[in-house]
Amino acid sequence: MTAQATGRETTFAGLPAVELALPQGDTLRVTLHGAQVLSWVSGGQERLYLSPKSTMDGQAAIRGGVPVCFPQFNQRGPMAERLPKHGFARNLPWQAAAPELSADCVQLCLHLQDNAHSREWWPQAFALQLHITLRPGALRISLNVHNADTQPLAFSGALHTYLAVPDVTQATLQGLGGQAEWDAVANTHASAAETLQFAAEFDRVYAASKQALRLNEHLYIQQSDSWANTVVWNPAQALCQRLADMPEDGWRHMICVEAAQVYEPITLPAGERWEGWQQLTVPTP
């Protein structure tokens, strides 16, 4: 009899969560708070970074995993002065449907729609779905936005993925060479180098590449054309020391590579939908 994937409801640090597992050994943990993927183990390794000092109170954003930034990126958005940084989707509880299970795939869909909490910040009717697909050696996360209002919906956002690395100062990221680059630390514009390295604070926005990015030799990163940008971020030591929810050396063990919409908001007419995904793949030995 062929072994099936499994899915179960559980709690993590006191928060409602769903744990998924494939017979081949890959596992995934998702918390309903923010619909946030917190752990992805593939090939016997944890592929995501989760800060051990993350706030797990069901109110604040969780530092690590894959936060869903919506309806704005950072404080760039249609109502930036009223919305929390990176929007509110990562701060609210989502609902999870029963996972779809097979021998080599598990799919989980989480839902969030406008409610009393979201309308405190944003008077817009909307419905979000986060589709998570786990296969051996691969994780795809897809955000679907539905404008459920009678007026246009404008938003920016990101899948703010924290990737685990043994030592970021030894890490390399390839695949963005030649793309337009804004260095937010120095406030300069240039074309991206063929190989990115991380010896100091790094906060840059790129025009998205058509090709897969490669982190070191152990992970490929792709995103849909519907995201215009890729953001790469590491706080380095000085900034990390000012982040209350990060350990002093946390910066050394993570690098964010985000599928994002930064400069120009996406505008959906009433009733329309948008979808944007990011896929992480472990190369086959």
In the block, residue with structure tokens 């769903």: 18
Instruction: Tell me what percent of the chain is helix, strand and coil, each rounded to the nearest 5.
Output: 5, 50, 45
Distance CA 41, CA 147 (A): 34
Whether the Cβ atoms of residue 128 and residue 107 lie closer than 8 Å to each other? no
Establish whether 160 is a catalytic residue. Answer: yes
C-alpha 209 chain-centroid distance: 17
The yes-or-no answer on residue 258 being catalytic is yes
Dihedral pair phi/psi, residue 103, rounded to 5°: -70, -35
Radius of gyration of the chain from its Cα atoms, rounded to whole angstroms: 18
In contact, 55 and 63? CB cutoff 8 Å: yes
From the candidates 86, 160, 194, 272, give the one annotated as an active-site residue.
160
Among residues 258, 264, 272, 275, the one annotated as catalytic is: 258
Largest Cα–Cα distance of the chain, in whole Å? 59
187: left (phi over 0), alpha (psi -120 to 50) or beta: left
Look up residue 267 and give its two tokens: 């505008």
User: What's the token pair of residue 175?
Assistant: 């695949």
CA distance 113 to 95: 10
170 backbone dihedrals φ, ψ, rounded to 5°? -105, 0
Query: What's the CA angle centered on 43, arms 253 and 250, to 5 degrees?
Result: 10
Q: Pull the structure tokens for residue 121.
A: 């910040």
Which positions are catalytic?
160, 258
